[in-house]
C-alpha cells in the first residue's frame, strides 16, 4: 500500500468517536406468531405496558441487548414470554420510521413464525397474552399493524411455493381443512375443484387411507405431509433470508 492511500484511513476507534451521536439508537425485535383455529388465522399479541398505548395490543417484542446477536433476540423473547423453544423464526424486515417509538429512536426487526395452536401449549406467565383473529385487529401499539401486514404478505407469497403452511395444521388433516387455511391466509374464497387440482400438482401430500371422524359434515380423507418434506423446506426457507 502506498503512503498516499493509508493517509485516508482511520481507525475504528476514531470512526466511533467522530460518530458518537450515531450510537444512540436502540434496536428491538418483534415476533409475529401466526396460528390457525376455528377457520381463522390468528396472531399472538400482548397488552402494551406503555401509558402512551394504554389498552392497546402489541407484538411480543423487546429491546436487543448490547451483547446479544440480533437473530438470537427473538428466540429469547419467545421463550421468556410463552415458553416456546422449538419454533423457527424467519426474519422478515426492519422498520425504522423516525417517530415510530415514543421512547426515542428505536428501529425494530420483525420475525415471523407459524405454529399449530393445539400442539404448542403456551406457558404464559403474563395473563395479557392472547391469540387474536387477524380479521378484527383493532388499533395496535406502535407500527405493529403495518408489521403484521408485511409478515402476512410474506406468508402469502411463501405458501405458494413451499410447504410451510403445514406448520399451522395438525399432523393429519383433510383437504377441506387445508383449503380453509389457504382461504384464511389469502383472504379469498377458492374454488374447491381448482384448489384440489393445484395441491395435487405440488406433490406435497401422502394419502393416509383414513377418514375423518366426529365431524359435522361428510367425513373427508385424511392426508399428511410427505415425510422429510416439512423440515427440509423450513430449513430452506431459513436459508433464503440468512
Smallest gap, in angstroms, from Cβ of residue 40 to its own copies? 24
In the sheet that holds 40-47, the strands lie side by side as 57-58, 40-47, 129-133
Asked if 71 interacts with its own copies (CB under 8 A), we say: yes
Give the footprint of its own copies on residues 15-54 (CB under 8 A).
Answer: 15-16, 19, 21-27, 47, 49-52, 54
Q: Which is nearer to its own copies, 67 or 86 (CB)?
A: 67
Q: Tell me 200's DSSP state.
A: H
Region of 55 on the Ramachandran plot (φ > 0 left; ψ -120 to 50 alpha; else beta):
left
Q: 142, 114, 119: which is closest to 46 by C-alpha?
A: 142
Asked if 130 interacts with its own copies (CB under 8 A), we say: no
Q: Of these, 96, 145, 179, 229, which contacts its own copies (CB under 8 A)?
A: 96
Measure the CA angle with vertex 220, ends 218 and 223; round to 5°.
165
Asked if 63 interacts with its own copies (CB under 8 A), we say: yes
* Under 8 Å between Cβ of 172 and 214: no
Q: Which stretch binds its own copies (CB under 8 A): 7-15, 35-43, 181-189, 225-233?
A: 7-15
Asked if 3 interacts with its own copies (CB under 8 A), we say: no
Asked if 7 interacts with its own copies (CB under 8 A), we say: no
Name residue, grid cell 404448542: 120
Asked if 95 interacts with its own copies (CB under 8 A), we say: yes
Name every residue whose Cβ is closer than 8 Å to that of residue 101 and which is 6 or more positions away in sequence: 28, 108, 142
* Under 8 Å between Cβ of 190 and 183: yes
Q: Which stretch binds its own copies (CB under 8 A): 149-157, 170-178, 188-196, 209-217?
A: 149-157
Positions in the binding site for its own copies (CB under 8 A): 1, 5-6, 8-13, 15-16, 19, 21-27, 47, 49-52, 54-55, 63-71, 91, 93-98, 101-105, 107, 109, 150, 153-154, 157, 239-242
Amino acid at each position: 500500500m502506498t503512503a498516499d492511500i493509508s493517509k485516508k484511513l482511520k481507525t475504528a476507534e476514531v470512526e466511533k468517536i467522530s460518530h458518537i451521536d450515531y450510537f444512540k439508537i436502540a434496536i428491538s425485535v418483534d415476533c409475529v406468531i401466526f396460528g390457525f383455529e376455528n377457520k381463522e388465522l390468528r396472531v399472538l399479541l400482548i397488552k402494551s405496558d406503555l401509558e402512551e398505548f394504554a389498552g392497546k395490543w402489541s407484538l411480543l417484542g423487546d429491546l436487543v441487548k448490547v451483547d446479544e446477536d440480533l437473530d438470537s433476540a427473538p428466540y429469547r423473547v419467545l421463550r421468556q414470554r410463552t415458553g416456546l423453544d422449538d419454533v423457527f423464526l424467519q426474519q422478515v424486515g426492519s422498520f425504522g420510521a423516525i417517530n415510530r417509538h415514543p421512547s426515542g429512536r428505536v428501529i425494530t426487526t420483525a420475525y415471523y413464525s407459524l405454529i399449530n395452536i393445539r400442539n404448542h401449549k403456551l406457558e404464559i406467565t403474563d395473563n395479557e397474552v392472547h391469540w387474536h383473529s387477524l380479521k378484527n385487529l383493532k388499533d395496535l401499539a406502535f407500527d405493529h399493524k403495518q408489521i403484521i401486514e408485511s409478515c402476512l404478505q410474506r406468508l402469502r407469497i411463501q405458501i405458494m411455493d413451499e410447504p410451510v403452511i403445514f406448520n399451522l395444521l395438525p399432523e393429519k388433516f383433510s383437504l377441506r381443512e387445508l383449503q380453509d387455511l389457504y382461504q384464511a391466509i389469502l383472504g379469498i374464497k377458492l374454488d374447491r375443484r381448482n384448489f384440489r387440482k393445484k395441491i395435487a400438482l405440488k406433490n406435497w401430500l401422502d394419502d393416509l387411507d383414513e377418514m375423518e371422524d366426529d365431524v359435522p359434515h361428510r367425513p373427508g380423507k385424511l392426508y399428511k405431509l410427505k415425510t422429510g418434506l416439512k423440515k427440509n423446506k423450513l430449513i430452506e426457507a431459513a436459508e433464503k433470508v440468512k
